[in-house]
Structure formats: structure tokens, C-alpha cells
Amino acid sequence: MEKIHMWDIISLLGIPYPSSGQSSYYVQCPCCDENPRKKHLNINLKKEVFRCPRCGASGGIFDLYALYTGVPRDEVRKAILAQMGVPEKASRPRQKILPKADTECPLTDIDARHATYRALLSKLTLASDHRDNLLGRGLTDADIGRLGYKTTPVVGMTQIAKQLQSDGLYLAGVPGFYRDDSGAWTFTHEKRGILIPVRDRYGRIQGLQIRRDNVEKRKFRWVSSTEKKDGCKAEGWTHLSGPVRSMLVLTEGPMKADVINALTGLTVLAVPGVNTLTQLELTLTELRSEGLAEIKTAFDMDFATNHHVQNGYNNLLQLLGDMGFRYGTYLWDPAYKGLDDYIWEYLSGKSNHSKTEGRGFGFALFRAYFTLQCVFPL
């Protein structure tokens, strides 16, 4: 008999299929999701397991069948074979002994993550040196408050996690949270830095990045609790700064996107890196349905000289072309690495009046103010 897979089970049970390319997705939990719009049960097709971080239901393919049908666990195999119309053989193949499954939680839904991250950030503060760093990039105090930047917590996270739980917030499946050796929920201890909320097109916090202090390499990292008990891995989410419009600027990193948006008023979409495009196609598909038609890329100027970056950039342009977008590439004075640096340096060189009045001036004045070359494909 051929081996039974998770795909077979969800087909037999009539469970909705995942979106194209997804190996892990959420459906309504038959145990705890009374509202059909809630989806807490995670099905992992690759690992062939399921888990609900809300009620704790979990197991393999036979357990999922038993959960939905009520068939006793020791009779599930026979019931599946009967439903598939496959006769059960008298001799059963020897079962392969699998290693014990890891204790990580599947990623919970975006609404739960947003609620938990928003509550977490409300309990944290921003150190004065971090505020000065952000002000030095061109953000105002109002911008900083609106964006939700905070300093990474150093101590007291077990107590904060306890407070979040008492407020009815989910910690399971939220990257950064995990259980310590005593079984208590806590938050990952990272090197000191600035916490950066990474938001979707509705402003919901998908995950967090850290801009780490006093490091030269990998200055920006995702907040993740992978390989920790009941921890969860962060994904390479995109970040949208500004409302959905027919044209946007595409750049690298959520902080850079926030600064460009604050200084120009342009809508800016950020990817984690030019070589990290996993989520970009999905995001662009969603934005295209809301009117997006044109994209201006604005990656750091080293894309023209860094071979590794250039390869990733070429893959990006290929994606944009294949999706049918009109696109071009902004070029500026290479003495300034990023577009955010170039714009802020220009505004800083003006009088205080111009510096203040120039913020948020929009696309038309943006083109008039700055010496930018936009290169379009042939």
C-alpha cells in the first residue's frame, strides 16, 4: 500500500487547501474556533503534523483524521483505507521510528501577532541614545511615536509575558516568545538595539526586527525564538510604509522605508534584503489588486558594484517584469549609500525652514527637489 500523506487526509476531510506554494497554513480549529473567521489550527504539509496553539490539539495525519471524524485512533487507518477504496493488507509494513518532533510552535495568525506585539511595545520604552539616533535620521518625535520604535528589553521579560497572558493575549506562535526551563513564558534576550515593527498594508505588526548596537555585520536581525521550547521562527516579511497607491518605492529594510516615507510622503515597500524575496511576490500580488501599477527601486548604491547584490537585484527585476509591472531604478550621488541618507543630507543642508517644510512633499516635488536619475528597462 502507498504511504498516506497529509494531502490525502485534508482531501478526505474536505479541509481547505493552502494557497499556492504554502507548506504551512491555518484553518478553523474544530475544537476551539467557534467563529468561522478565526483560524488557529496550523497544518504543516512538509512535516505532516498539525497543532493549535490556542487549545493544544496536535498530532500527525491519523490524529487529524480522528479529530475531525471522531473515529477512535486505533481504527483510523482502517477507516481511511475504506474511504479511499483501498483494501487493507494483512501484513503491515514495519513502522519507521521517527525522531521526536521539535517543540517549536507554528506561526499564529497576523491578528494575534499584531495584538501581542502592540501590547508588548506599549510596555517598553525608547532609550535616549536610540531616540537621538532616529532623530539624526530625519524622523521627528511624532514619527517615532507613530512608528512604535522601542529599545530591546534587557530584564523583566518573564513578568511582562505574564502580564500579556493575563490580558488574554496569545504568546504561542508569536516569534520572540518561548518557554524557559521552568515552563514560564518569556521573550528572547537579544543584543541591545532598536526594535522595529514590520507592518503589512493594513498597519498590522507582522514581526519585529532589531537594529543592533555596536556591531559591524548583520546589524539588522529578525526577532525570533526558533529552536527554543514552544518558540517560533520569524519569516522574511515585507513592510509597507504609507498608503497603497498606484506607484511605490521599493527598498531594503523597514527602517529605511519608514525614513523615506516620513521625509517624502511617498509610499515605500521594504524587503529584508535584495536576496530575500520570498514574501515579495505575494505582497505585490495583493497590492496590484488594490491599484499598484508602477514600482521605482531604490536599493543602496552598492548594488552596482557588489556582485552578490547585483545578482539578487537582477532576480528582482526579472520578478517585476514577469508580474507585468512598469518599473524603473532610482540612481543618486553614490557618495550617499541609501536614498534615505541622500534625502536627509539634502534637507539638512537647507535652512531650518526648508528642512521642516520639505518633509512629506510627495512625488512631484520629490522629483523637483532631488537630482535623481530613473533608469527604465529597454
Q: Is the pLDDT of residue 102 over 80?
A: no
* Bridge partners (DSSP) listed for residue 241: 268
Domain chopping of the chain, boundaries:
6-84, 109-235, 238-378
Structure confidence at residue 290 as a pLDDT band (50, 70, 90): very high
- The per-residue pLDDT for 153 is 86
C-alpha Rg value of the chain to the nearest Å: 24
Q: What is the pLDDT of residue 155?
A: 79
Q: What is the pLDDT of residue 33?
A: 81
Average model confidence (pLDDT) across the chain: 84
Query: Which has the minimum average pLDDT: 71-80, 255-264, 343-352?
Result: 343-352
Give the bridge partners for 51, in sequence order.
42, 58
Write out pLDDT tens, residues 182-207.
989 999 987 899 999 999 999 999 99
How many angstroms separate the Cα of 39 from the Cα of each of 42, 96, 107, 216? 8, 32, 12, 41
Q: Look up the CATH number of domain 109-235.
A: 3.90.980.10
Task: Identify the bridge partners of residue 212 per DSSP, sorted by sequence position.
Answer: 193
The CATH number of domain 6-84 is 3.90.580.10: yes
Looking at per-residue confidence, does 216 or 164 come out higher? 164
If you average pLDDT over residues 227-235, what whole number do you get? Answer: 90
Q: Is the pLDDT of residue 94 over 80?
A: no
Under the banding of pLDDT at 50, 70 and 90, the label for residue 355 is very low
Q: How confident is the model at residue 377 (pLDDT cuts 50, 70, 90)?
A: low
Q: Pick from 114, 251, 104: which is nearest to 172 by CA?
A: 104
Give the global pTM. Answer: 0.71
| pLDDT above 60 for 69 | yes
- Confidence grade of residue 376 (pLDDT, cut at 50, 70, 90): low
Mean pLDDT of the region 307-329:
86
Sheet of 205-212: strand order equals: 150-151, 193-199, 205-212, 220-222
- Percent pLDDT > 90 in the chain is 43
* pLDDT value of residue 362: 53
Q: How many residues does the chain have?
A: 378
pLDDT at residue number 100? 43
* CATH level 3 topology of 238-378: Dna Topoisomerase Vi A Subunit; Chain: A, domain 2 (3.40.1360)
Is residue 92 scored above 70 in pLDDT?
no
Q: For the residues 324-347, what does the mean pLDDT come to?
A: 88
pLDDT of residue 127 exceeding 90: yes
Mean pLDDT of 220-246: 93
Q: End-to-end CA distance of the chain, in Å? A: 56
Cell triple for 324: 507585468
Q: Checking phi first, is residue 6 left (phi over 0); if not, alpha (psi -120 to 50) or beta?
A: alpha
The stretch 18-23 carries a mean pLDDT of 70
Query: Which of residues 347 and 108 earns the better pLDDT score?
Result: 108
CB-based contacts of 230, cutoff 8 Å, min separation 6: 103, 104, 105, 172, 177, 178, 179, 185
194: number of Cβ within 10 Å: 23
